[in-house]
Amino acid sequence: LAKTTQPISMDSYEGQEVNITCSHNNIATNDYITWYQQFPSQGPRFIIQGYKTKVTNEVASLFIPADRKSSTLSLPRVSLSDTAVYYCLVGEEQAGTALIFGKGTTLSVSS
């Protein structure tokens, strides 16, 4: 399974755009990139998933360069409620394959 590296923490202010970059140098051909958000004492919540190029949903955008060795989660105009831990995970999308969590990025949003 590809190992991921993310910044341990990031700080931002309300209304700003936040970009969290994740490195996954040994990503495999069949691997997808998935981002989860976790609040204290809650289970992780799916944010976005992609394989290559750019993916956008109502919550975030995911940018993946051609070599797929990194990815960037972009959160537009963050609010205080976006303060959470964000995990970047890489792995095959097969029914029997578990996602392995790294340390994640703790995002703190201030007013």
Q: Which is nearer to another protein, 63 or 101 (CB)?
A: 101
Structure tokens at 79: 């609010």
Of 40 and 111, the one with the shorter C-beta distance to another protein is 40
Q: Rg (Cα) of the chain, in Å, rounded?
A: 13
Residue 91 near residue 100 (C-beta atoms within 8 A):
yes
> Measured between alpha carbons, how far is 1 from 66 in angstroms, rounded to an integer?
20
Stretch that binds another protein, among 9-17, 42-50, 63-71, 76-84 (CB under 8 A): 42-50
Q: Which region holds residue 39: left if phi is over 0, alpha if psi is between -120 and 50, else beta? A: beta
Q: Does 29 bind another protein (CB under 8 A)?
A: no
* Contact with another protein (CB under 8 A) among 2, 36, 70, 82: 36
What are the residues binding another protein (CB under 8 A)?
32, 34, 36, 41-46, 49, 87, 93-96, 98-104
